Amino acid sequence: MKLSRFFILLLVFITSAQNLSAEELRLSDISAGVGVGFGSEFTMLGETLLDSPLVGSLEFQVPMLFKKKFKLEPELGLAYASLSTPGENPAFILFRLGLGGYYVIFKERLAFCLGLRIGINYAKQKEGGVSKTDFDVGPALGVEYFLGEQFSIGALLQLKYIYSGEMGDQSHAMHLLGTQAGVYLRFYFAAAAKKGKRPEAESEKTPVKPQPAEKQSGRLQAEASAKASKPAPAVKKPSGPPVLKCPEDTVEVGAPPPDGYDCYCQEKTETGALGAKQGPYKSWYENGQLASEGGYQNGQRHGSWIFYHSNGQKRLEAGYNQGQKAGTWTHWSREGKKTKEVQH
C-alpha cells in the first residue's frame, strides 16, 4: 500500500467521523485496553526510496488514557521487510518494541493525539542469519473515533529518524529518514465510567405506554391485594435534611453523593408500602455534580427535565407528557454550545 493511500484514508476518516452523531463519552479517569493495527513504512536513504521496506506490519498495543488528556501506548510489532537494492533483494523479519506518548484533545467522540513515538527494532535476515538492531524516534499525529465507550478505530502518521545498526558487510551505521502510517482498532477495559448506579439520562429508560383505565384499575387492585397480605417494608429515609420538596402523602427516598446517586418522592399507600414516584427528582454524578432534575407524575416522567454534563454545563433540556417525549428538546455540547433542537 502506498503512503498516499494512507493520507487519503486518514482524510476520509476524519471527515466522515465528524459527521457522525456525537454524545458525551463516559470515560473513567484511567482507561486501559488493548489494540491491534496494520501499518506500512517507507524509508528514504539519500535520494533513494526503499521500495516497500515494511509489508504487512502487525502491531499490538496497550493504550492507557489518563483523564481524557494524556495517553501512553506501549506496543509490540512484527513485520516483514524487503529491501530493493541493485543486484539483490534481501528479506528480513523484524520485531519491534516501542512506546508512544501523546497529548489528547477530545471533541465529543473524536480524539486528536499529538506526541512522540520511540522504538527499538531487531531485524534478522531470512537467509544467512545476519541480524541488526535499529532505533527510531519521531513526532506522531493520530486521530481516534470512539464507536462506543469501549471500542474505537483510529489512524496514525509518523515522521521518524532511524538509526540503522551495522549488519554483515556493512561496516558503519546509517542515518535514515522514514515515515510510517497505520490504522488501529482498540478495546478499552476500564472505559465504562464508574461502577454503581448511573444517573438517569433521557436515553436510558423506555417510556411506558399509557394503559386503558380499566386495565390499570385491575392491575392496581391485584397489586394492592397482594401487598395487603404481606407486612409493609420499612421506609428508608435520608439521614440528613430533606433534599426535595415532596408533595403531601409522599416520602423522600434516596440520597445525594456520597451516600447515593439520586433522590425522588414516592407515594405512601394505605398499607404503608411505597407506591409510584410522584413529584420532583434529582440525580448526581459520583463527583457530586448535578446530573439531572425533573419530575414524575403517577410513576412516569412529566413536565420539564434538564440534564447536565459532568462538568456542570447543560446537556439537554427536554419535555415529557406522562412518560412520552414532548415539546422541543434542545442539546448542548460540553463547552456550552447549542448543537441541535428536535421537536417531539
Which residues constitute the domain of residue 175? 3-188
pLDDT in tens, 77-98: 888 776 555 555 567 788 889 9
- Locate 18 and state its grid cell: 465528524
At residue 248, the pLDDT reads 87
Do 122 and 265 lie in a common domain? no
Query: Of 129, 158, 188, which one is at a domain's C-terminal end?
Result: 188
Tell me if 203 is assigned to some domain.
no
Do 92 and 23 lie in a common domain? yes
Do 164 and 264 lie in a common domain? no
Q: What average pLDDT score do residues 58-80 get?
A: 89
Tell me if 142 is assigned to some domain.
yes
Is pLDDT above 80 for 171? no
| Domain CATH code at residue 35 | 2.40.160.20
**pTM summary value:** 0.50
List of E strands, 108-232: 110-125, 131-146, 151-164, 174-188
Do 15 and 159 lie in a common domain? yes
CA distances from 103 to 6, 142, 180, 261 (A): 22, 10, 19, 32
Do 176 and 45 lie in a common domain? yes
37 within 8 A of 182, measured Cβ to Cβ: yes
Is pLDDT above 70 for 196? no
Is pLDDT above 90 for 309? yes
Measured CA to CA, the distance from residue 148 to residue 328 in angstroms comes to: 27
Measured CA to CA, the distance from residue 276 to residue 265 in angstroms comes to: 8
Do 178 and 282 lie in a common domain? no
Which span out of 184-198, 268-282, 293-307 was modeled with the highest average pLDDT? 293-307
320 within 8 A of 307, measured Cβ to Cβ: no
Do 154 and 255 lie in a common domain? no
Do 267 and 166 lie in a common domain? no
pLDDT in tens, 319-342: 999 999 999 999 999 888 999 999
Domains identified in the chain, total number: 2
pLDDT, mean over the chain: 76
Do 148 and 261 lie in a common domain? no
